[in-house]
Every structure is written in C-alpha cells, then in structure tokens.
Homo-oligomer: A and B are copies of this chain.
C-alpha cells in the first residue's frame, strides 16, 4: 500500500544518513553510503535502494565492516592511484579518491583507481556517472560472491561480477551501462522460488552441474554467465583484473571471508579506469563527444533503448514528484531510525 505523501530524494537521503550515523558509521561515510542508496531508490533501482539498508546494518552488526574506517589515499604520482577503504564501505573510499583520479586522467589521458579492502554493495553506475560528470569515460568492475559457474562448468566459482561503463554527453544524461555478467541477478531466482515458478532454461545448473529450471535446485547449484562462453570470458576477466591483479579477494575468497555465507554483503576490492576523451582525440581534430552523439542519436532513431534510459526517466519523475514508498518501507525506516541495530533482532 503506497503512503499518502511522497518523500523527496534529499529527505530520503537525510533519513538514511541518520540511520547509518546512529549505527556508528562515521559521518562522511554515512553520507556517502546514504547517497548511493537514496540514488538507487530515486532511480527506481529497487535492488540498490533502501532495501540495502538492512543488509548494511547486518554487516555492521556482524562486525564484518569497519564503520569508522577512514579511507587512505596512496599516490605514487603514477597513473595508478590507490585508496585503502580499511575494511569500510567502498563508497566513501571512491568519493575520497575521485578528484585525484579525475585530475590524473586529465593529465595522463588514462588513469586507474584501485579500491582496496572494502565492503562493496552498491551499483557501479553511481561511480561511472560521477566520472561522466567530470567529463571522463570510465570502466568499473569488481568481483562479488562465488555463485556463477564458468560456461561449461558445474559449480560456483565466479561472482555475478558487475561490469560498468560511462561516457559523457552534452545536454543529456551520460551513456551508462552497468550489468551483472550472470544471466540474471541472484534475487531473480529467489523471487521465482518464492512465487513457486520455474526459472527459464539457461539461467542455472543444479549442484551436479545439470541444467535446471527448478529455482531451489538453482540456488543450491550455480547461476550461469550471460551470453554463453563470451559472457563467461568477460566474468573471468573481471575476476582477474579486479581480484587477482589487485591482490584483493576473488569471489571465492569473498565467500570464505564471510564464513561461507552469502547472507552478508561481500568484501573485496574494485577497479575503476578513467579515460579523458579530449586527450585521446586531441590530435585527430575531431570532437569525441560530438562523434559519440552521432552514434547514440542513431541508436535512438532506430527505436532502440539506450541502457539506463528507464533509470533516468524514473529519476526525472522522482525529482519532480518525490519518491513514493510503501507503508512497510516507511515503517522499516522508522524502526531503524529509532532503534538502530537493535531493530535487526526482530
């Protein structure tokens, strides 16, 4: 049942921020985490919206995230910048390093940001969108929890390993994609299980590695990568570049670190690569953003949707009309706001 009065994105951000501050999260981090959660809700990205508040609180309660961690930047002056999240949330670490990453990308043409040792639960589009606002193209990726079998394999090894890309546009929202390299998110299978509905073929294998349409069997088996062996290759690349290469957890280790459970949010590193189109195009004499527009306009002219279009439409609506939460969602926010971590015990 929807509530009578919608809430503005800023008001929602303030409420979520209060919840995290009361749970012992340092103010700058509470603000950063609340910002991505409120943005998810604003963009009608429910799976990254206030639904995530409880998960974050549970990890705090379990002692698996350092709520007071202060991100520390390590800059050797090269094109690779590092930020140690110190076991804290990834978001304040990214925010702290973003200006230096943008500066270095403009100076060098290309630069990378390594985020170390962070609790990572947020969508990657938030980061690549921020860099697009800085006029930069970017790639972002991270491992997650081992829940996906490689194509041709039979057991969880890869994570849902998101892969995101952002490209700046003039006078329009940036071109942004951000997707799991599994066929679907794990939550989709869970929804089918609750509804007692079979899952489509090609989503998962059972614990013996056989194709299955039974959501129960899929959840105790493994999900499959999107796009067959090509998607599997991209997922493996994500493990190598944002796990092995950084010397941070891969998806299998992330599960082990959390004591074998995937009910808490994963801890690992992340990789962001930023590129300055103006630097890359300079010698050509062409305007890279205008060139990009020719392509993106032509895609739209075919009636094809650009990724994130629905999200941007939801955002425009939320900014104009506010966000409508259900009574249950509002009641949960109230409970967290007044009771803090104690509300988890109910």
- A residues sitting closer than 8 Å to B (CB atoms) are 74, 78-80, 82, 107-112, 114, 116, 137, 149-155, 157, 165, 167, 175, 177, 179, 181, 209, 226-234, 236-237, 239-241, 243-248, 250, 252, 273, 275, 277, 279-289, 291-292, 294-296, 298-299, 302-305, 307
Contacts and interface: CB of A to CB of B under 8 A. Distances in A.
Contacts of A157: 295, 298-299, 302
Contacts of A232: 304
Contact of A153 (B107, B273, B304): B304
Nearest to A105: B79
Nearest to A232: B304
A79 B231 contact: no
Given A154-B302, A233-B179, A307-B229, A247 B114 contact: no
Contacts of A246: 280-281, 284, 288
Contacts of A250: 291, 294-295
Contacts of A287: 247
Nearest to A307: B233
A303 B20 CA distance: 45
A137 B242 CA distance: 12
A110 B295 contact: no
Contacts of A282: 247
Contact of A245 (B137, B236, B244, B294): B137
A179 B110 contact: no
B275 A112 contact: yes
A299 B153 contact: yes
A238 B234 CA distance: 14
A241 B275 contact: yes
Contact of A244 (B110, B288, B305): B288
Contacts of A175: 236, 240
Contacts of A292: 240, 244-245
A227 B229 contact: no
A230 B231 contact: yes
A160 to B, nearest CB: 12
Contacts of A241: 137, 275
Given A244-B292, A273-B110, A288-B247, A165 B303 contact: no
Contacts of A243: 291, 295
Given A107-B78, A283-B82, A302 B112 contact: no
Contact of A80 (B244, B252, B279, B286): B279
A242 to B, nearest CB: 10
23 contacts: A78-B279, A79-B111, A80-B108, A110-B112, A116-B284, A137-B241, A149-B302, A150-B304, A153-B302, A155-B302, A165-B237, A175-B236, A177-B237, A226-B227, A227-B228, A229-B305, A243-B291, A244-B295, A245-B275, A246-B284, A247-B280, A247-B282, A247-B287
A68 B191 CA distance: 62
B110 A111 contact: yes
Given A153-B303, A307-B229, A245 B111 contact: no
